[in-house]
Amino acid sequence: MQARPAPFRQLPGDPSRPAQAFRVQADDGVTLRLAHWAASADSRGSVLLFPGRTEYVEKYAGIAQALTAAGYDVLAIDWRGQGLSDRLLPDARVGHVGQFADYQRDVARMVEAATNMGLPRPWHLLAHSMGGCIGLAALHGGLPVASAAFSAPMWGINLRQMPHGVAVGMAYLAGRLGRGARPAPGSGGALGTYVLDESFSANLLTTDADAWCRMVREAAAWPDLTLGGASFDWVGKALNECLRLSRLDSPAVPALVSLGGQEKVVSATAIRDRVARWPGATLLEIPEVRHEIMMCAPGHRAAFLSAALSLFGGAVGP
């Protein structure tokens, strides 16, 4: 199926350069939305941007602007089940996936699109949260990138005091009772998306008021892009995927991994354990940061992007 044009949203007064968005189809028929920002000058390569759960390509327009100014093309994706890609349940607010391996179908179609577009090489991976889980699996599958930068990767989920086995068992039982597609308790808010349901002072994502306000404005302006809680099925399969990945060796790709000192969404222990077993990885810890270093205070965001650009610039293509 050929790529077809897709909408790309911008808030009123947004001065950033819009992406060229388009739709493609995965090999199982699911339609996906991708967005491309071309480098502002002669390209030094390309960045494949893997967002997190609930996210959409517009959220990363500011990051894409910084990357294109540094000489990189950027290609981002709406994963199946979120953004303007096909939703997978009648209740489009519930985050869901058939199998976690299905996200690798999305990766394969993204790589195919990047190849057909002739995106400049070398390619690099930039992945946040759930995108970091998908990205690590993709690296094991041969994702053709020279380096990888991860923001708070979901290599484990912060379950607070709940044991891993109990959480998996609850998800399994819900599936057996025919409730696997229902939202799991604690995975999302009543208004359908976290940023509209939570106060700034209590949120787990950012300490930066400007970034938070932008997220709220986007969610209010574009409700069709937002996503609510995850289904029991998604939670169980995500936990199993994190466990599967934890048993694999680290890929032979140089990497940067960021971890906020106030991280409460993903498992800091799993991140530190993976980096300790990854000879080519560097851990960037910033005490003041919560879950989203790319949506935090400008100084911390700049520190992460500077480290990522240094990694990209020194990496040799595969």
- CA distances to 39, 99, 162, 228 from 22, rounded to whole Å, are 18, 25, 41, 24
As a whole number, the mean pLDDT across the chain is 93
> In this predicted model, which residue has the larger pLDDT, 212 or 1?
212
Domain ranges of the chain: 4-314
In DSSP terms, 95 is beta-bridged to 230
Tens digit of each residue's pLDDT (9 = 90 or more) over 66-122: 999 999 999 999 999 999 999 999 999 999 999 999 999 999 999 999 999 999 999
> What pLDDT is attached to residue 171?
72
- Res. 163 pLDDT band, cuts 50 70 90: low
3 state DSSP class of 186 = coil
- Res. 185 pLDDT band, cuts 50 70 90: confident
Nearest-angstrom CA–CA distance, 1 and 96: 24
At the second CATH level, the architecture of 4-314 is: 3-Layer(aba) Sandwich (3.40)
Tens digit of each residue's pLDDT (9 = 90 or more) over 217-227: 999 999 999 99
- Res. 188 pLDDT band, cuts 50 70 90: low
For the chain, what percent of residues have pLDDT higher than 70? 95
Strand intervals (E) in 135-188:
147-151
Tens digit of each residue's pLDDT (9 = 90 or more) over 267-304: 999 999 999 999 999 999 999 999 999 999 999 999 99
> What pLDDT is attached to residue 192?
67
> What pLDDT is attached to residue 190?
45
Q: How many CB atoms lie within 10 A of CB 27?
A: 9
Cβ-contact 275, 292 below 8 angstroms? no
> In this predicted model, which residue has the larger pLDDT, 120 or 162?
120
Q: Is the peptide bond before 122 cis (omega within 30 degrees of 0)?
A: yes
In DSSP terms, 285 is beta-bridged to 259
> What pLDDT is attached to residue 140?
98
In DSSP terms, 183 is beta-bridged to 231
> What pLDDT is attached to residue 184?
86
Nearest-angstrom CA–CA distance, 169 and 138: 27
> What pLDDT is attached to residue 315?
82
pLDDT surpasses 60 at 22? yes
> What pLDDT is attached to residue 292?
98
Q: Minimal CA–CA distance to 67: which of 312, 279, 274?
A: 312
